[in-house]
């Protein structure tokens, strides 16, 4: 079955042109499924029945997996078995009758404009590390890009003269404008800081650690958490918080939803409209607190 999974992932990559993160997610879900099935003595894809998959999902439910994780697993299994059926490797699709659990859409955590400003003021730009950290945080908030996209940026993706960055999402790319604050600190970082970190002229990564190696997600997480504590922000900030905050603040200040969708790289506008709904909720709360005849 492992060979079938590898073939499926190759199909996703070469034919469907899916993103790296999607491929990793499918592979992880399917490997867990295979592990469960092997414990039942099922070693060939042709041996799998719908009840086996139902039992696996039941085990996930009793194991207190989140509804979102179970729903994603169902999607992974459906895509995999449908492909296997189309390729003629199985006579029936055992996942055809599977149903996803209802997933509650949790509103993302966002910061107020004041909290963002406090956060962005924390790095000490008089130090090399502080200048780098400031450039990362400013760019993340200026563009609304995903943290993975930020950390995969190369130096050549930055155009300071025209004030934009080219962001890569798998096989897709999008151009995002940046404001003068983000541009200026990026320019300083590239001129004053990065050369002291990077000895290897062949290193393409825009942001590196002090050893000149590409900044890791864990490294960025520590940077963000540290500055959130220094700023006195009590919320549970994640690397995605600035992305969510970017979207809501743009909409609050008059940006149209289609433009925000394009900047954030959402393929479906309904994803972006979640932020529009959050903006409406905020306006209602403000109204209820402030209007004398509410």
SS3 category, 223: helix
pLDDT at 283: 47
Residue 219: φ, ψ to 5°: -65, -40
Q: What is the pLDDT of residues 126-154, one digit of tens each?
A: 999 999 999 999 999 999 888 889 999 99
SS3 category, 167: strand
DSSP string of 48-80?
--HHHHHHHHHHHHHTT--HHHHHHHHHHHHHH
* Count of alpha carbons within 13 angstroms of residue 38, beta-carbon side: 8
CA–CA gap between residue 271 and residue 130 (Å, rounded): 34
Q: What is the pLDDT of residues 143-184, one digit of tens each?
A: 988 888 999 999 999 999 999 999 887 778 889 999 999 999
SS3 category, 178: coil
Q: What is the dihedral of CA 266, 268, 272, 273, to 10 degrees?
A: 180
CA 275, 277, 278, 282 dihedral sign is positive
Contacts of 125-130 spanning 24+ positions with Cβ under 8 A: 125/185, 125/188, 128/192, 128/193, 128/196, 128/197, 128/210, 129/210
Residues in CB range of 195: below 8 A, 6 or more apart: none
Local confidence pLDDT in tens for the 294 residues of the chain: 889 899 999 988 888 888 888 888 899 999 999 999 998 898 888 899 999 899 888 888 888 787 778 888 888 999 999 999 998 989 989 988 888 776 555 666 788 889 999 999 999 999 999 999 999 999 999 998 888 899 999 999 999 999 999 988 777 888 999 999 999 999 999 999 999 999 877 899 999 999 999 999 899 999 999 999 999 988 888 888 888 888 888 888 888 888 888 888 877 777 677 776 665 555 455 445 554 554
SS3 category, 265: coil
pTM of the full structure:
0.61
| Domains (range + CATH), the chain | 2-86 (1.10.150.130), 113-289 (1.10.443.10)
pLDDT at 285: 52
pLDDT at 267: 74
Closest CA to 91 of 146, 29, 46, 25: 46
């Amino acid at each position: 079955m492992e060979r079938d999974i590898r073939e499926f992932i190759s199909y996703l990559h070469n034919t469907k042109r899916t993103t790296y993160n999607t491929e990793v997610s499918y592979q992880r879900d399917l490997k867990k499924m295979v592990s469960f099935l092997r414990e039942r003595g099922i070693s060939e894809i042709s041996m799998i029945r719908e009840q086996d998959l139902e039992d696996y999902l039941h085990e996930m439910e009793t194991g207190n997996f989140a509804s979102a994780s179970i729903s994603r697993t169902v999607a992974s299994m459906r895509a995999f078995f449908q492909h296997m059926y189309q390729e003629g490797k199985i006579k029936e699709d055992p996942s055809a009758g599977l149903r996803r659990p209802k997933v509650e859409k949790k509103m993302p955590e966002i910061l107020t404009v004041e909290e963002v400003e406090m956060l962005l003021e924390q790095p000490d730009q008089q130090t090399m590390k502080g200048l780098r950290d400031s450039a990362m945080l400013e760019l993340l908030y200026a563009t609304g890009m995903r943290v993975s996209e930020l950390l995969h940026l190369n130096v050549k993706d930055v155009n300071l003269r025209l004030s934009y960055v080219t962001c890569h999402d798998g096989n897709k790319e999008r151009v995002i404008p940046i404001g003068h604050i983000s541009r200026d600190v990026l320019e300083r970082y590239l001129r004053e800081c990065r050369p002291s970190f990077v000895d290897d002229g062949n290193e393409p990564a825009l942001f590196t650690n002090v050893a000149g190696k590409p900044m890791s997600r864990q490294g960025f997480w520590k940077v963000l958490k540290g500055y959130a504590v220094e700023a006195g922000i009590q919320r549970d900030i994640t690397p995605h918080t600035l992305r969510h905050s970017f979207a809501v603040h743009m909409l609050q200040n008059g940006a149209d939803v289609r433009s925000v969708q394009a900047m954030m790289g959402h393929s479906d506008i309904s994803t972006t409209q979640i932020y529009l709904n959050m903006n409406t909720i905020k306006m209602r709360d403000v109204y209820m607190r402030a209007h004398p005849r509410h």
